[in-house]
Amino acid sequence: MASRTFAHKFTSLFKDNDVNLWANVRLAITDYLQQKWKKGILLGETEAEAYYVKVGLGETMTPLDLQERRVIVEVGLALVEPDVFNVISCVNQLPLEYDA
């Protein structure tokens, strides 16, 4: 599971830095990790023991991050044993001006 995969899913969702973007990012990464968990790559009897995804205001970002158009995602992966997470943080700077 290369960080490139996360980065690709992450940057392919450029939109306004709001709850819709965060939900889409969370869903895309969660879908990917769920597949890995089902294949036994991530350890744990439940998804919560195997991985987590955090993104959003008050969770991984501050009002300053929103103002500066940063999206910060934290992903925890149980690679060695359940509920013991390796943590990956992804920070992406959205363009200051974005034409949808």
pTM: 0.80
**Number of neighbours of residue 73 by Cβ within 10 angstroms:** 24
In a domain, 100, yes or no: no
Structural domains of the chain, count: 1
Residues 64-90: what's their mean pLDDT? 95
In a domain, 25, yes or no: yes
In a domain, 98, yes or no: no
Helix (H, G, I), strand (E, B) or coil at 13: coil
In a domain, 99, yes or no: no
Ranking 5-9, 51-55, 56-60 by mean pLDDT, the lowest is 5-9
Cα 15 from chain centre: 15
Give pLDDT tens digits for 27-37. 999 999 999 99
For residue 34, give its domain range.
3-93
